[in-house]
Chain A
């Protein structure tokens, strides 16, 4: 099985094109064009990995990241940004983002990150399950 992904970017055409490319590769990819909508989608749908744009109107990427981590702590978040800003990247990692990638990006690099995030989420789930079983 492949990861279920949510792409959050106010550049709708970017999000749609990326989703299309991931779908071709058999990933289940949905899109969202603002932070509020993304949080709603994350709350009722189990995404494994969220690709999240840093700079968006309304709620910015860092605020959305914080909310996602509150609702679904195991969901892995990869930050997307058009311009390199090490400070914001570090801040995002501190707040629980798995990694960040610059736009435009190479699809292979992105897929490798997504797969890593999916594997990490599954490992975490397994660890929690194992702890629960051993605690019984």
Chain B
């Protein structure tokens, strides 16, 4: 049991660190664009001081670019804020669809760097479960990392959620090379530890090229008392 707890804590910290790296990188990029555009306005005014007519249309375009980047940075920070709030309470009543949208947003850059497109199917009804959202985010993140490596040439992963018996089901589809994965390679000890905390099950369906994560409702958050006290 201790091994499971250590793995869960370690995996959580790793996810937190990777998200921080990704978010800070993206925010820096956004700030760099703002800085260059603010510098451009400065350049244009310096030229105007030397007698070059002031191009107001150009200034308006630059202002629009800066506003776009402010909105982008604002959205990045909102995502980080939502992610941080997932630790407010260990056990929460959540809509899995919202959680998937958040993880997708957090993973966007990682997917883009690996040339994979991630799609979240949002045209579904809310799928509510009581669970540990942070651990679930971790598990979804690890499943996505695995999924990214088995998309084949299509390089598209789709995630969706649906109600399943007494809980919820998350589908990771588009895993074209799932059949080539040797038995025992996935799930690893990390995923297994998180599954244990969530009382979740992970199965693969080679025929439909998908990974299924089944979650119970009102799960036992078994490490709440032992680890976080």
Contact = CB atoms under 8 A, between A and B. Distances in A.
B39 A14 contact: no
B40 to A, nearest CB: 6
B31 A20 contact: no
Contacts of B29: 11, 14, 82, 103
A71 interface: no
A11 B115 contact: no
Given A55-B25, A57-B112, A57-B115, A21 B32 contact: no
B36 interface: yes
B33 interface: yes
B35 interface: yes
A104 B47 CA distance: 23
Contact of B47 (A24, A82, A103, A107): A24
Interface in A1-50: 11, 13-14, 17-18, 20-21, 24
B21 interface: yes
Interface string B3-45: 0000000000000000001001100110111111101100100
A58 B114 CA distance: 6
Pick the most buried of B33, B35, B37, B69: most chain A CB atoms within 10 A of its CB: B33
Contacts of A83: 21, 24-25, 28
A58 B25 CA distance: 17
A83 B28 CA distance: 8
Contacts of B190: none
Given A82-B29, A103-B29, A17 B21 contact: no
Contacts of B36: 14, 17-18, 21, 104
Nearest to A56: B113
A13 B114 contact: no
B72 to A, nearest CB: 10
B65 interface: yes
Interface of B: 21, 24-25, 28-29, 31-37, 39-40, 43, 47, 65, 68-69, 112-115
Question: Which 9 residue pairs spanning A and B have beta carbons closest together?
Answer: A17-B36, A82-B28, A104-B35, A103-B32, A104-B32, A14-B33, A24-B43, A13-B33, A57-B113
